[in-house]
């Protein structure tokens, strides 16, 4: 990191122990195109899952038939993607206009969608499938605000 980046690199020393990068294949679009939705979103929600072999077909089907329509109809949902790497690794990424919009979705829709999706199947690490909790949440702020 020569030149102008030296200061940035020096400030980051010790902030990270490990970075793993994976490229996943998008298999579904959730609502609007994610790149379009990012221009108005202030929150990204990420669910990263490792699903047991016997549950994978149901997991993908539930995403297509239950989660996608349920999320797409939620106020403030700006778009998303559902992606897969190999046989067992999945990622669901959704963009939300505000934190409040996402919280409203969790409060009013999430529980019913989870029941409808019948996500009693376990993930590869022995826990329930990844969409059984609030998941990871990342706030994003559009440039210049």
Q: Please, which residues have CB within 8 angstroms of residue 52's CB and are 6 or more apart in sequence?
A: 88, 121, 122, 123, 124
108 vs 134, higher pLDDT = 108
Nearest to 92 by CA among 54, 52, 132, 142: 132
Residue 119: pLDDT above 60?
no
84 vs 128, higher pLDDT = 84
Tens-place pLDDT, residues 24-62: 999 999 998 889 889 999 999 988 888 888 888 888 999
- Domains of the chain are 25-139 (3.30.70.100)
Number of residues that this document lists for the chain: 145
């Amino acid at each position: 990191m020569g030149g102008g980046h030296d200061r940035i690199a020096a400030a980051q020393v010790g902030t990270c122990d490990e970075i793993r990068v994976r490229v996943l294949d998008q298999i579904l679009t959730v609502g609007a195109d994610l790149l379009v939705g990012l221009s108005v979103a202030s929150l990204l929600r990420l669910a990263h899952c490792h699903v047991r072999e016997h549950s994978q077909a149901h997991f993908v089907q539930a995403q297509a038939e239950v989660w996608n329509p349920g999320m797409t109809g939620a106020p403030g949902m700006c778009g998303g993607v559902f992606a897969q790497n190999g046989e067992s690794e999945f990622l669901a990424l959704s963009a939300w206009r505000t934190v409040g919009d996402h919280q409203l979705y969790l409060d009013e829709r999430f529980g019913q969608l989870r029941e409808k999706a019948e996500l009693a199947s376990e993930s590869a690490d022995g826990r329930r499938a990844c969409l059984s909790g609030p998941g990871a949440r990342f706030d994003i702020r559009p440039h210049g605000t």
